[in-house]
Chain A
């Protein structure tokens, strides 16, 4: 056999290039066949993070076992919509408490739409006559703020829940837990986007007095509407259930309407509720979120799992909770979505991201399921079919598995990516992608567009550190 060096010179080179693309490009320009492998050092070459990953590597088998358990809980729950009743009854929510989206909120640092919504919710409950009086109650601690997530609830955008608001009750029949969300108010001027005028209050009162009780009666009579099969069906019909809920809303309406007709004494009331549901393509969003929380909660506390079970934003901070780390939040400043704006608005009008709705990305829907919903990719300005496929493919890099029930026909029935793994986020530097609505930054404006936003990497860095510490303990 000839010496290696001369063998190399005997024929044309066969080149594999790793990492920086410049080398491959130069060779390609010279007409040399080259295979490029996109490779980056783990954790963006940050030695501290790499060391943390290394420490967790020692526990790989224990972690993988816990992750399998957490993933089973995330995907095999059976959320059933069973009721709609006031938060006071469903959550034991006391008076003078306002639940909000995201991690705990520092009132002084709250964004304008969040402040406007909190003050409006206080006026709606009659705890104060105007915003100034309401603001004093909050500042004095006479009205308490708490995250929805701490009360078994989730709320889109500002996520307001107070005692008299009706909430849907979703029961996870596989694990025995419950989760709750308010009735989606529809489009335009709505409390969840920080609108606060009389039309907002009038709608909230109608939801409390007429829609909530009727929906509750219909749902109790129905014996419960199983949501997982409905959601699996909607994925097959082009919904990702964050920014597109048209199929899920229509399927739910179809399942609910006969019960509503039977429950309603007064024709007018049934017709008004049916009209309200039928007019809102996002009606199902709050139910997808409640189902998401019902699915995710049983995974919280599975130690030492590294899977994310909560992602939520309060307009100031983005918060993450991890299965193996219990109820602790890991927060970082929230980013502002990039997307398409309604006529008359632009990026300068956008508030940083808010809402508990990223729970749907946590359970394998929303942006991670973008490939199921090319129409949503257009709506959020993420491009066409190719971009939708790429988004889902990218999310597979950071997820522990594929959803056994949420399957995408166009991908030959492959499941959506599910179970965001903190370790993989750090290792790859790929952060979770979220489809979201964009709230106007000025209080009272409402929605100004829709887009996509990334979870901030810093949340995952903190979570990784906490996981490594727990492992050492």
Chain B
């Protein structure tokens, strides 16, 4: 019989040993497995059929299909989806992750993040910024124009810049950002600034004055880095996935309808429960009645020891998600109760450089009754409105109970 402790140690060791080099930006059809043919639409979270998709995810599917030129009008897209002419699949099944709706289609450019320790890769699209954005389900002409520019001109310039730079060490950049008040989920201001600073000379050298829009776009919002950080987390957790007997989580993801987790030792199976509501602060004019249930693959950051797990590194975040700085410290301290170890690279100055809690153990979650906390944005339940707030959500305990049962059943078999 497999020794669970040894399996978990192996799992955590693989996560800790993983590297994350951002090496380029390529069209998804060229690099993402399974996107080279057909009308494939990848989405956030565990599998979900068109009929059960929430508003923001449907809106994002419409925008992506219009961008791809598969249909001329939103109605046509909806008819195609209902007729089964679009193939839906989770990003997670394709070594990819996407924030909020998380839509990836073949013509979109994706970052290529390479884990050199395990010769694997992970992918994520370019973050679109704030306001009307595809990931929140917006699909008007301004969104389509930006999609065309981002996936054309911007992607080509960034790919050339990354080539000239010889890649960017994302793991090291995240560890610096943690010392600068980011938790790299809802706050990526430092990481974004450090990335811009690092890439700017290469953008200037390869694009000249035409790099102005690229540089302005990268620096305009604080979340430009988020997607890259997510890909870095994915590529590390994929390396830890599939260790027989291990009870460590390798994914937490939401599709706006359901919350799903995957466990290293139980393969590619999802354990799901209805997606929770987010508790947080709303932008002016919005309230809890407008909120969509929790959505997005971005909880991959918490799974890798960032986000709410690293909240003590980012006490300023409570102004955004609600609560007091003490909440930030308490959240991190509580997450040590359900994790297998402390991150060797991601450290928190305010805790005297203690590593962030990392490696969520299904057994510890069920035993303590403490569920993972996730630091997240709140999307409007209607397609196209966009982000209306930010807050904290709690992973549903039911996912963990199912996972524990599956682990136990696997051991009896």
Interface residues of A (CB under 8 A from B): 233, 236-239, 246-247, 249-251, 253-255, 257-258, 260-262, 264-265, 267-268, 270-272, 274-275, 277-278, 373-375, 378, 384-385, 409-413
Contacts and interface: CB of A to CB of B under 8 A. Distances in A.
A278 B201 contact: yes
B194 interface: yes
B324 A237 contact: no
Contacts of B316: 236, 409
B212 interface: yes
11 contacts: A238-B349, A246-B176, A253-B196, A253-B200, A258-B212, A260-B200, A261-B203, A264-B204, A277-B200, A375-B179, A409-B181
Given A384-B352, A412-B326, 14 more contacts: A246-B180, A249-B197, A254-B197, A258-B212, A258-B216, A261-B215, A267-B204, A267-B206, A270-B204, A271-B202, A271-B204, A385-B351, A409-B315, A412-B325
Q: Is the interface of A mostly helix, strand, loop or mixed?
A: helix
A268 B213 CA distance: 18
Interface string B49-88: 0000000000000000000000000000000000000000
B197 A277 contact: yes
B190 interface: yes
A136 to B, nearest CB: 43
Contacts of A260: 200, 204
Interface string B332-357: 00000000000000000111110000
Query: Shortest 8 CB-CB distances between A and B: which pairs?
Result: A250-B193, A271-B205, A274-B201, A409-B315, A275-B201, A258-B216, A254-B219, A374-B349
Given A237-B180, A385-B351, A247 B202 contact: no
Interface string B164-200: 0000000000001001111000000110111011101
Contacts of A375: 179, 349
B181 A261 contact: no
A261 B190 contact: no
A267 B180 contact: no
B215 A385 contact: no
Given A237-B181, A274-B201, A250 B190 contact: yes
B359 interface: no
Nearest to A266: B208
Nearest to B348: A374
B186 to A, nearest CB: 14
Given A267-B204, A267-B208, A374 B350 contact: yes
Contact of B209 (A236, A264, A274, A378): A264
A384 B203 CA distance: 38
B197 A258 contact: no
B211 interface: yes
B240 to A, nearest CB: 29
A116 to B, nearest CB: 31
Contacts of A409: 181, 314-316, 318, 325
A410 B201 contact: no
Contacts of A262: 209, 212
Contacts of A258: 212-213, 215-216, 219
A240 to B, nearest CB: 12
B349 A385 contact: yes
Contacts of B318: 409
Contacts of B212: 258, 261-262
A411 B176 CA distance: 21
Contacts of A271: 201-202, 204-205
Contacts of B196: 250, 253-254, 257
Nearest to A258: B216
Kindly state the interface size class of chain B when it binds its partner. 35 or more
Contacts, number: 120
B133 to A, nearest CB: 20
| Residue from B193, B196, B202, B326 with most neighbouring chain A CB atoms (10 Å) | B193
Nearest to A411: B325
Contacts of B204: 257, 260-261, 264, 267, 270-271, 274
Interface in B339-385: 349-353
A278 B315 contact: no
B209 A410 contact: no
Contacts of A250: 190, 193-194, 196-197
Contacts of A249: 197
A259 to B, nearest CB: 8
A373 B181 CA distance: 10
Contacts of A270: 201, 204-205, 208
A316 to B, nearest CB: 35
A374 B212 CA distance: 36
Interface string B274-316: 0000000000000000000000000000000000000000111
Contacts of B189: 233, 237
Contacts of A412: 324-326
Contacts of B216: 258
B160 to A, nearest CB: 12
Contact of A237 (B190, B208, B209): B190
A255 B219 contact: yes
Given A271-B205, A412-B325, A254 B192 contact: yes
B336 to A, nearest CB: 17
A251 B193 contact: yes
Nearest to B318: A409
Contacts of B324: 412
A249 B196 CA distance: 11
A62 B81 CA distance: 77
A302 B76 CA distance: 72
Contacts of B182: 237
A260 to B, nearest CB: 7
Contact of B181 (A236, A255, A257, A275): A236
A465 to B, nearest CB: 42
Given A264-B204, A271-B201, A275-B201, A257 B219 contact: yes
B181 A385 contact: no
A214 to B, nearest CB: 11
A257 B209 CA distance: 11
A358 B131 CA distance: 42
| Residue from A238, A247, A257 with most neighbouring chain B CB atoms (10 Å) | A257
A265 B349 CA distance: 42
A410 B315 contact: yes
Contacts of A261: 200, 203-204, 207-209, 211-212, 215
Nearest to B202: A271
A253 B350 contact: no
Contacts of B190: 237, 247, 250
B325 to A, nearest CB: 5
B78 to A, nearest CB: 39
Nearest to B349: A374
A212 B239 CA distance: 48
Contacts of A374: 349-350, 352
A373 B179 CA distance: 9
A253 B198 CA distance: 9
| Residue from B192, B200, B208 with most neighbouring chain A CB atoms (10 Å) | B200
A28 to B, nearest CB: 29
Contacts of B200: 253, 257, 260-261, 274, 277-278
